[in-house]
Structures are given as structure tokens and as C-alpha cells.
Structure 1
Amino acid sequence: MPATPATYPMAFEDYVKVIYAHTEWQPEPITSSVLAGRLGLAASSVTEMVKKLGANGLVDHVRYGAITLTPDGAALALRMLRRHRLIETWLVQHYGYAWDEVHDEAEVLEHALSDRLLDKIDDELGRPTRDPHGDPIPSKAGVISQPAALLLRDAVVGERVVVVRISDRDSLLLRHLEAESVVLDRALEVRSRDPFVVQLEVQDGERTLAPDALVSIWVSREEPSRVK
């Protein structure tokens, strides 16, 4: 009989969460070298752990090829993402954390909170469907709903879009975007672009962003009900 998610080591939980998140917003599969970079670990250590994950039925992996989650691995990943994203939301809404401060705290707390406390937090928050960065929060049953979105990089000049997700990998970028009023649910219009800068129209004026920032911002052509 397969082990329940609660019995897996924390390292297993961390790995499957990163593997899942890698392909959540883009189609390219993750490899051992990319996974090592995301985790900040030596390639040899990652290779050994991937073998253990495979032996426990959590991933499929062909040598030098992509790493993919099995159904059990995906279920464990969704369980951990639910924990991580609920905790981030809780810290922002109830403890005054900024959206660029919550990731590291959630990395620790996601392994420590009981399921009972997590359910209480979910109820207290009103069962949110996304975290402070726009990442969807899986339900307790492991159901996840992701909005149709494209990178801001791929929006054309003159197109009006709404921000639905901003990557939390760069805290400095998050602070910069907040200062520029480029936040969730904000309507934007791409006014012009060249290889060095992109001009955006935001509600209170124009903003200039470097092209690198455009690969961290996801937008929708369909405005949500809470457009700011």
C-alpha cells in the first residue's frame, strides 16, 4: 500500500513542489540540471534524490531527460502548494507581511502546521483561490483552477490586459513593481516597446519597465471582476 503524503520526508515534499511549479505557467519540462539550479543544489545530489523519488513512485525520469510527476507525485505537490500559498496569504492578510517577504516564511511553516490548523486558516481567510502573487491555491481535494494567461512579453502594442500573476522568485522585482503600481488585477496597456524598454499605461500614468521584467508578469485578455 503506498505511503500517505504525511509520511514522506520533507525533502520529497520540496522536490515535487518545485517540479510541479516549474510547468505550472509554461510548457517546458524540467530536467535534473534545471531542478538543481532551482533548488541551489549540486547536480549529483539532485540526481540521487530523483532516483529516490522514482523508487517511491513519485516521479518518472529517463536519464538525461525530463522529470515528470506520477499521479501520486502530483497529489503530494498540490498538497504542498496548497499549504505554501495559504500560508503566504495568511501572513499578508493577518500579519502585515509584504508580498515580497512571505516566500521564505512559508517554506518553513508549510512543513510545520497541522492539517487541522491549515483548515482553520483556510476558513478564516474565506477559502481564497489565489495567493498574493496570483498563483492558484489548490482546494483540499486537490483541485486547482488556473486562469488563461500569457506573459506580458507576448502582449502586443496597443493591447489592453490585466495582471493575473507575478512571479515571486525575485523579491527586488516585486518591490519595484509594487512601487510602479504593477500589481494583481491592475489593467495595463502596452504603449510601445523596443529592445531596451517597454512603455505601459497604468491607471495613474505611464510606466517604463525593462524587458526582463516582462517574463515575470502574466496577464489576461479577459478582465476579472476585481479590476483595480
Structure 2
Amino acid sequence: MASPAADDYLKTVYAHTEWQDAPITPSVLAGKLGIAPSSVTEMVKKLAAAGLVSHVPYGAVRLTDAGTARALAMVRRHRLVETWLVREFGYGWDEVHDEAEVLEHTISDRLLEGIDERLGRPRFDPHGDAIPDADGRVEREPFVLLADAPAGHSGRVLRVDDRDPDLLRALDALGLVVAVVVTVSAEGMILDGEPADLPEGAADVVWLSA
């Protein structure tokens, strides 16, 4: 079942549980993909028939081993392309998601390997998401969502969700980027030794080292 649409479904199912444990439902999947629920239901049936996901009516959608392997291959493509665009072409981290969504389906395996080699085989993309290696292995350390971190917790920014370009630009202007160390306070957050006012919604899209 080789199609860009199927790959996008598998990649979205994988990414949903990468930074939290709740499985994805068809309705949530429809919202993330911007597709009508009826269309999602039909595609999930096709993916299940192909042995790529498991699903019961009205229940969660879960990847099979085969689905996970294919999802990891697509995630690797997407995140390597994002890293390539930032490092080699000067894109901002708020500009690469949509470009990578297109390019990930068009570049050859040979070009992908060349990009990986040229970049020094990076382990993380510009947003802090792990880049699977060619064998599908992923490196990730313990993490906590900023919104769930208790006052007094200090940690490095491990990851920032990449789906809201405006929020990414606001966080970049604040200096809240991957690898920066922050401390959670009762009032919000300490950044570079000073209190920082978080943009609305920021606490729900930033993950810190645990």
C-alpha cells in the first residue's frame, strides 16, 4: 500500500504517542490531518487490511510492527529534510515543516543518505525531535512537558512542537529554543536568570529534560 497519504497517516499515528502516552483515535487523527472523519475511517480500514495498523470500531488506532517500521522511515525523511533546510539553506525553524511535508515524498533514498552523511548524521531535528537512524533506532531521554513540570524544576529544552509557526517565532524571539536551560517558577519560568513571560499556549508545546 504505497502512497503518500498512507505514509502521512502512519507518520501522524507514530508522532502522536512520541511525547505522550494516550493512543490516537480516528477523530483525533482526522483533526491532525485536517481530513473528514469519514475519510479517515476508510483509510484506517485500508491500513488495517494491509497489516499496518490495528483498530477496532470507535477505538484507538495503533501501529503494527510493519506500520511502525514504515512510520519511522517517513519520520526519518521528514526530520532530515527539516534539518537540511535549516543548516544548508538558512530556513528558520518556523518555515521548514510544510516544505518537508512535500519533499519527504519526492527525494530518493540515495539523496536522503547523502543528506544524512553531509549533515554528520544528526540525531535530532531543529525542533528537538529525534531522527531515527537508517535501522529505525531512536534516541530519546526522559522528558516532562513544561505545563506539567513543578515549580523549581530545571531542565534543558528538549523539544518544541513545530505545528504553529507563529508560536515558534514568538519562542525564538524569547530565546526559548532547543538546548536552552530554564527553571520553572510559581509565576512561570526563569530564562537566562530573568523571569520570562511565556506566549499563550507555550507551556503545552515545550518539553524539558526530566
Compute the RMSD of aligned alpha carbons. Answer: 1.1
Residue in structure 1 matched with residue 120 of structure 2 by the alignment = 126
SS in 2 for 1:209: coil
Q: Distance in 2 between matches of 1:142 and 1:191?
A: 38
* Contact 2:167–2:199 (Cα < 8 Å) also in 1: no
* Contact 1:32–1:67 (Cα < 8 Å) also in 2: yes
Residue in structure 1 matched with residue 154 of structure 2 by the alignment = 160
Q: Distance in 1 between matches of 2:195 and 2:4?
A: 45
Deviation, structure 1 residue 211: 6.0
Equivalent of 2:83, from 89, 92, 97?
A: 89
The alignment status of 1:170 with 2:164, answered yes or no, reads yes
Deviation, structure 1 residue 175: 0.4
The alignment status of 1:207 with 2:196, answered yes or no, reads yes
State how 1:49-64 maps to structure 2 within 5 Å. Answer: 49-64=43-58
Give identity over the alignment, percent.
Answer: 54
* Contact 1:31–1:65 (Cα < 8 Å) also in 2: yes
Q: Which moved more, 1:69-78 or 1:206-215?
A: 206-215
Residue in structure 2 matched with residue 149 of structure 1 by the alignment = 143
* Contact 1:153–1:211 (Cα < 8 Å) also in 2: no
Equivalent of 2:69, from 75, 81, 93?
A: 75
| Structure 1 spans left out of the alignment, 5+ residues | 1-6, 222-228
TM-score when normalising by structure 1 = 0.89
Deviations 1:163-221 (A, max 9, x none): 0000001111100001000001101112323xxxx2x2111632111562111000014
Q: What amino acid is aligned across from residue 177 of structure 1 in structure 2?
A: L
Greater C-alpha radius of gyration: 1
Q: Distance in 1 between matches of 2:166 and 2:200?
A: 15
Q: Distance in 2 between matches of 1:201 and 1:34?
A: 33
Deviations 1:99-141 (A, max 9, x none): 0000000000000000000000000000000000000000001
Residue in structure 2 matched with residue 34 of structure 1 by the alignment = 28
Q: What amino acid is aligned across from residue 34 of structure 1 in structure 2?
A: V
Deviations 1:14-63 (A, max 9, x none): 11000000000000000110000000010000000000001111000000
Q: What amino acid is aligned across from residue 161 of structure 1 in structure 2?
A: G
* Contact 1:87–1:109 (Cα < 8 Å) also in 2: yes
Q: What amino acid is aligned across from residue 36 of structure 1 in structure 2?
A: A
The alignment status of 1:114 with 2:108, answered yes or no, reads yes
Q: Which moved more, 1:46-55 or 1:144-153?
A: 144-153
Q: Distance in 2 between matches of 1:217 and 1:95?
A: 25
Deviation, structure 1 residue 147: 1.7
Residue in structure 2 matched with residue 219 of structure 1 by the alignment = 208
| Structure 2 spans left out of the alignment, 5+ residues | none
Runs of 4+ in structure 1 displaced over 3 angstroms?
A: none
TM-score when normalising by structure 2 = 0.97
The alignment status of 1:182 with 2:176, answered yes or no, reads yes
Count of aligned residue pairs for this structure pair? 210
Residue in structure 2 matched with residue 224 of structure 1 by the alignment = none
Q: What amino acid is aligned across from residue 205 of structure 2 in structure 1?
A: S
Residue in structure 2 matched with residue 48 of structure 1 by the alignment = 42
